[in-house]
Amino acid sequence: MPISDETLDIQTPENVAFDYHVAGIGSRFLSTMIDMILIVLIEVIVIFAMLLVMRAFGDDPSSNAWSAWVIALFGLVTWLFFWGYYVFFELLWNGQSPGKRWVGLRVIRGDGTPITMSESFIRNLVRIIDFLPATYGIGVITMFIDKQSRRLGDLAAGTLVVLDRAPITIQELSVKRAVNLHPWKDVPLEGFPVERLTNNDLNLIEDFLQRRDQLTHRSQLAVQILNALYARLGLPPRTVNQTEAEDLLASILDAAQKLDKE
């Protein structure tokens, strides 16, 4: 399997495909190292706190029965930090740990939707096996074999790690919209009921127009989106070629924006 990042096309129930860049071994290794450093720092703090508590019961651990309980308690806490660290942050940050967030990665489900608590628990519980014999030996071997660089935990949970998309500000969105919608040919809508479009419809069109330069098979996707809109609105399909489909989507979005301003 290539070590470099690959593209994964995910088909939505509306028969529209979106692509994700699958994270390669290099970027995942870097994020794991960052997380491991943070985990070690946390565990050092826990061990230091354990020593302080033990000193409060006496210098000789065997002289006090409470010392054994303290050791067991802090051992359990240390293990929970190692395992619960990823679960906590993946649920808090929607599939990201501090290391993944720093490198720009995110865990998603195989269908492209955000992971839930069950997927996070499974993939991180199996992490113990991936870690064997040491430093993710089994996990690295599995990632080399799997074409989507998934370790055993990802295979068990049905998840994968992809490159995260940077957030877009309103200012950036308006600039990108101007760039992506022009030049385009204003296509007559021929009575198309723009007012019946939902926010999801408009977001889908807008997302396509913003990202079409990076999408594979962009022209075919434009036709798919257009046909899905006409079918949802109960309209007879409109015969257009692939280039005209992009222009028609741009015209629909432009008309919807003008209608919203009125």
pLDDT at 118 (0 to 100) = 92
pLDDT at 11 (0 to 100) = 56
SS3 94: coil
pLDDT at 63 (0 to 100) = 52
> CA 150, CA 158: separation in Å to the nearest integer?
9
172 alpha-carbon distance from chain centroid: 21
Q: What is the pTM of this model?
A: 0.58
- Amino acid found at 148: Q
End-to-end CA separation in angstroms for the chain: 54
Query: 20: how many CB neighbours lie within 10 A of its CB?
Result: 21
Q: Please report, for the chain, the start and end positions of each structural domain, with discontinuous segments joined by +.
A: 6-163, 170-261
Tokens 């969105």 map to which residue?
173
- Is the Cβ–Cβ distance between 120 and 96 less than 8 Å? no
pLDDT at 174 (0 to 100) = 44
- Closest to 141 measured CA to CA, from 124, 129, 158: 129
> CA 228, CA 182: separation in Å to the nearest integer?
24
> What pLDDT tens digit does each residue of the chain (262 aa) get?
334 446 666 555 544 555 678 888 888 889 989 998 998 898 888 778 777 777 776 655 555 566 677 677 777 777 777 778 999 999 999 899 999 999 999 998 887 778 999 999 999 888 878 777 766 778 778 888 888 788 989 999 999 898 886 554 444 444 444 444 544 567 777 778 888 888 888 888 888 888 777 776 777 888 888 888 888 888 887 777 767 888 888 888 888 877 766 5
Maximal CA-CA distance, the chain: 89
pLDDT at 199 (0 to 100) = 82
Pure H helices in the chain:
25-57, 65-92, 98-103, 117-125, 127-131, 137-145, 152-157, 170-181, 199-211, 218-232, 242-261
Angle between helices 218-232 and 199-211 (to 10 degrees): 170
49 alpha-carbon distance from chain centroid: 36
pLDDT at 103 (0 to 100) = 92
- Is the Cβ–Cβ distance between 138 and 129 less than 8 Å? yes
